[in-house]
């Protein structure tokens, strides 16, 4: 089996070195980069399963690096390494689609547990079944062919509805707020009301969830939405 590949972007060499040693010991293949530009370059040269990304980096920041990566790759799992007091960084990182964050200083065991958890969630969200298919319960979606099938029946969605459902499925079991969904599906240059998210959630629910059991799209009060199999 191919090793899971992790890219570490961290300018503090000591931390990067410890991470490299521990993760290599756990059986991962690890590559380090010490600043944002080097990180972006190495990211583009290889294929990666997980990015461990420090936020405070010389050159381009971790947040900027994440923005660039997410604009062309929704697949890679990302855990941010943040300083204790940088709440804003955590929020913008999560908004940009980081899967998790860990606050420095951290216990290595905690970090390893997060890495395993994120990789597990991520693998099940991206590698289900045959190529291109993402699955949740009896719902299947294919990003390459734009097919959606629920309980064996083909479901017709508009392109926007399809992108919304695909985003929810790729991040299944993660609660997504309206801004996150808006950025991912409508783009950063969309300045309309976040109500559009609720409207489109209703459209796709009517088409692929309402008549089926179990309902997969859940409203999380005061936060947003999550797609998950409740069983
Ligand atoms: Ca740093």
C-alpha 107 to ligand 1 mean position (Å): 17
pLDDT of 127 reads 53
C-alpha 59 to ligand 1 mean position (Å): 11
Cα–Cα distance measured from residue 224 to residue 123, given in angstroms and rounded to the nearest whole number: 23
C-alpha 220 to ligand 1 mean position (Å): 34
Which of 167, 184, 180, 172 has the alpha carbon at shortest distance from 216?
172
C-alpha distances (whole Å) from 20 to each of 7, 26, 37, 128, 188 are 9, 10, 19, 29, 34
- Structure token digits, residue 40: 């972006």
Which of 126, 127, 118 has the alpha carbon at shortest distance from 50?
118
C-alpha 103 to ligand 1 mean position (Å): 12
Domain range list for the chain: 5-130, 133-227
Which of 128, 125, 75 has the alpha carbon at shortest distance from 97?
75
Give this prediction's pTM.
0.56
Let me know: does 149 contact 140? Beta carbons within 8 Å: yes
Cα 52–chain centre separation: 13
C-alpha 30 to ligand 1 mean position (Å): 18
C-alpha 38 to ligand 1 mean position (Å): 14
C-alpha 12 to ligand 1 mean position (Å): 6
pLDDT of 226 reads 95
C-alpha 10 to ligand 1 mean position (Å): 6
Along the 231 residues of the chain, how does pLDDT read in single tens digits? 578 999 999 999 999 999 999 999 999 999 999 999 999 999 988 888 999 999 999 989 999 999 888 876 667 899 999 886 677 777 778 878 888 889 998 999 999 999 998 988 776 555 544 567 888 888 999 888 889 999 888 999 999 999 999 999 988 888 999 989 998 999 877 777 889 999 999 999 999 999 998 999 999 998 999 999 877
Which class would CATH give 5-130?
A: alpha beta
Half-sphere exposure of residue 89: CA atoms within 13 angstroms, side-chain side: 22
Which class would CATH give 133-227?
A: mainly alpha
C-alpha 105 to ligand 1 mean position (Å): 12
């Amino acid at each position: 089996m191919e090793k899971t590949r992790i890219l570490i972007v961290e300018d503090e060499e000591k931390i990067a070195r410890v991470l490299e040693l521990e993760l290599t010991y756990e059986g991962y293949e690890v590559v380090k980069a010490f600043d944002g530009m080097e990180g972006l370059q190495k990211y583009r040269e290889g294929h990666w399963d997980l990015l461990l990304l420090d936020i405070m980096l010389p050159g381009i920041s971790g947040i900027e690096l994440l923005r660039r990566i997410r604009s062309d790759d929704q697949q890679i799992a990302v855990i941010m390494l943040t300083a204790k007091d940088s709440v804003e960084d955590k929020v913008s990182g999560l908004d940009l689609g980081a899967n998790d964050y860990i606050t420095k200083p951290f216990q290595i065991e905690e970090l390893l547990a997060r890495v395993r958890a994120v990789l597990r969630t991520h693998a099940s969200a991206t590698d289900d079944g045959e190529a291109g298919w993402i699955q949740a319960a009896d719902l299947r979606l294919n990003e390459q062919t734009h097919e959606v099938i629920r309980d064996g029946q083909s479901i017709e969605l508009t392109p926007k509805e399809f992108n919304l459902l695909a985003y929810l499925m790729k991040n299944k079991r993660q609660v997504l707020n309206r801004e996150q969904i808006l950025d991912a599906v409508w783009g950063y240059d969309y300045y309309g009301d976040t109500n559009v998210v609720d409207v489109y959630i209703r459209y796709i629910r009517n088409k692929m969830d309402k008549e089926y059991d179990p309902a997969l799209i859940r409203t999380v009060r005061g936060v947003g939405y999550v797609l998950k199999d409740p069983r």
